[in-house]
């Protein structure tokens, strides 16, 4: 009913989903911090924000994320892609701790353990449900 | 907000999660119907793959739901507690997506996938601490 083998290209695609989601959000956040608060009376500032290097880079990276996410959903289940790519949260925390020397509380470490375990559960299972085979099996059971 | 703060926050989180789940399920359904994008790209190039995706009404509806989720999030963040709404919405979406994928997409959500969804949900919530 389910297929588990992913090719090297498909695994690379999942890695791209993970990295681009984290990097895109970070770039946007950094860019918007540099722009500062945008008032509802001056929405034109949002257009200006789009032209700043960090925000523009964030948008380009998030377009890459969306393209790779759509590609992943064309050959893997939603319930496989979402948990499998959530390892991005862990990468962000570890980068923050070891690269930026940010404090990671015990609760956050526990969160990292939970997410890693969740990714481990889903990664060891099948990636795609063949709906035709599921339907065929149900019909066979009904006829039996 | 002042009279029923919890009820309002729960409603806003529910709204974000509902639209995000609808968007994810519709987009996943559209991609399943379109087929393997890698093969389409090999056969007709990136423009062919882009046309296949962008001409799908289900994909358009999914993107609309994602946009509604995004604006619900912006509205919620301007009225509620950022440290509660962001992680709560992000983590709950993993579980609601698993439920919706089982019933609407017919995915084989076995015990392993339920555990994965619940573990990631708890993990994302803990990262907010």
pLDDT value, residue B10: 86
For B127, the closest of A71, A74, A89 (CB atoms) is A89
The three-point CA angle B85-B13-A34 to 5° equals 40
Residue of B116, B121, B122, B124 for testing the chain A interface, max A β-carbons within 10 Å: B116
pLDDT digit string (tens) for A96-117?
788 778 888 999 999 999 999 9
Q: What share of chain A is helix, strand, coil (3-state, %, to 5)?
A: 80, 5, 20
Cα-atom radius of gyration of chain A, to the nearest Å?
A: 20
- The mean per-residue pLDDT over the stretch A74-95 comes to 88
Residue A77 has pLDDT above 80, yes or no: yes
For A79, the closest of B32, B35, B98 (CB atoms) is B98
Residue of B65, B119, B129 for testing the chain A interface, max A β-carbons within 10 Å: B119
Confirm if B80 and B8 have CB atoms less than 8 A apart: yes
pLDDT value, residue A123: 82
Q: How many CA atoms lie within 13 A of B70 on its CB side?
A: 8
Residues of chain B with pLDDT under 70: 1-5, 80, 82
pLDDT value, residue A135: 65
Distances B64 to A103, A144, B27, B58 between C-alpha atoms, Å:
38, 44, 10, 10
Q: Among the ranges A74-78, A126-130, B79-83, which has the highest mean pLDDT value?
A: A74-78
For B124, the closest of A2, A111, A121 (CB atoms) is A111
pLDDT digit string (tens) for B12-25?
899 999 999 999 99
**Average pLDDT score, chain B:** 88
pLDDT digit string (tens) for A49-58?
888 899 899 8
**Average pLDDT score, chain A:** 84
Tell me the three state secondary structure of residue B46.
helix
Q: How many Å separate Cα A101 from the centre of its chain?
A: 24
Residue A138 has pLDDT above 70, yes or no: no
A85-94, A122-131, B55-64, B89-98: which range is least confident on average?
A122-131
Which residues share a beta bridge with A74?
none
At A104, give phi and psi (nearest 5°): -115, 115
The per-residue DSSP string of A93-128 comes to HHHHHHTS-----HHHHHHHHHHHHHHHHHHTS-SE
Q: How far is B81 from chain A (nearest CA, A)?
A: 18
pLDDT value, residue A139: 72
For residues A100-131, one letter each, b for 16 or more C-beta atoms within 10 angstroms of the residue's C-beta and e for the rest, the string is: eeeeeeeebeebbebbbebbbbbbebbbbbee
Q: How far is A141 from chain B (nearest CA, A)?
A: 17
pLDDT value, residue A65: 93
Q: Does B95 touch chain A (CB under 8 A)?
A: no
pLDDT value, residue A4: 59
pLDDT value, residue A93: 84
Are A82 and B24 a contacting pair at CB < 8 A? yes
């Amino acid at each position: 009913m389910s297929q588990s083998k992913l090719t090297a290209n498909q695994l690379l695609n999942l890695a791209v989903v993970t990295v681009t989601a984290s990097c895109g959000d970070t770039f946007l956040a950094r860019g918007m911090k540099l722009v500062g608060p945008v008032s509802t009376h001056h929405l034109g500032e949002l257009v200006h924000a789009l032209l700043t290097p960090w925000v523009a880079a964030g948008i380009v990276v998030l377009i890459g994320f969306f393209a790779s996410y759509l590609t992943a959903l064309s050959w893997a289940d939603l319930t496989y892609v979402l948990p499998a790519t959530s390892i991005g949260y862990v990468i962000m925390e570890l980068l923050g701790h070891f690269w930026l020397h940010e404090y990671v509380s015990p609760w956050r470490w526990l969160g990292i353990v939970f997410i890693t375990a969740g990714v481990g559960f889903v990664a060891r299972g099948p990636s795609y449900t063949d709906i035709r085979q599921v339907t065929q099996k149900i019909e066979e059971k009904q006829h039996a | 907000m002042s009279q029923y703060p919890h009820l309002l926050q729960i409603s806003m989180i529910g709204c974000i999660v509902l639209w995000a789940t609808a968007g994810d399920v519709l987009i996943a359904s559209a991609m399943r119907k379109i087929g393997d994008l890698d093969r389409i790209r090999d056969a007709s190039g990136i423009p062919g793959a882009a046309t296949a995706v962008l001409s799908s009404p289900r994909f358009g509806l999914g993107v609309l739901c994602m946009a509604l989720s995004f604006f619900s999030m912006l509205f919620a963040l301007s009225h509620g507690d950022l440290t509660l709404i962001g992680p709560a919405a992000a983590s709950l979406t993993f579980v609601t997506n698993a439920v919706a994928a089982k019933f609407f997409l017919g995915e084989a959500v076995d015990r392993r996938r339920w555990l994965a969804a619940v573990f990631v949900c708890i993990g994302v919530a803990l990262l907010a601490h």
